[in-house]
Amino acid sequence: MIWVDYAIIAILVVSAGISVLRGFLREALSLAGWVLAFWLALTFADDVSGLFSRYVSQPSMRHGLAFFTIVVGTLVITAIVMYLVRLIIDKTEITGTDRALGIVFGIARGIVIVAILVLLAGLTALPKDPWWRESIF
């Protein structure tokens, strides 16, 4: 194993560690919140940008501000929901199960992160380097 293999393992371990601390439900809600935030922003940014026409004259800036506002607003609401879910989970007996399933979620997220990094690196000259071919993963 070479340094890149250790880096991949570190990404997987850190992702799993974060997920075991947060638990499956919080991780799943977090992911759903991000997906929802970007979907809402893509869907409604044009409509919301009109609300900023009085304050921002440039259309592209209005659209960017609307997109940003929708994403941040959705993430704030998601954080409130996650807090309430955490209060419920802490009062029940599923905390251990939630954390154990969080490990699975974290490893899956780590694999996706590594896959994206490998795909992006594949667009460069990195696959021609000897260390790339020597990597186990």
Structural domain tally of the chain?
1
**Distance separating alpha carbons of residues 64 and 36, to the nearest angstrom:** 17
Q: Sorting pLDDT into bands at 50, 70 and 90, what band is 113? A: very high
**Distance separating alpha carbons of residues 118 and 113, to the nearest angstrom:** 9
Q: At which residue do the structure tokens 């638990």 appear?
A: 23
What domain range includes position 125?
A: 3-134
Mean pLDDT of 97-125: 92
Q: Sorting pLDDT into bands at 50, 70 and 90, what band is 67? A: very high
Q: At which residue do the structure tokens 């919301």 appear?
A: 48
Q: Sorting pLDDT into bands at 50, 70 and 90, what band is 108? A: very high
The pLDDT value given to residue 37: 96
List the one residue out of 28, 13, 33, 11 whose CA is nearest residue 113: 11
Q: In the structure encoding, which two tokens stand for residue 7, read together?
A: 């880096």
**Distance separating alpha carbons of residues 8 and 21, to the nearest angstrom:** 20
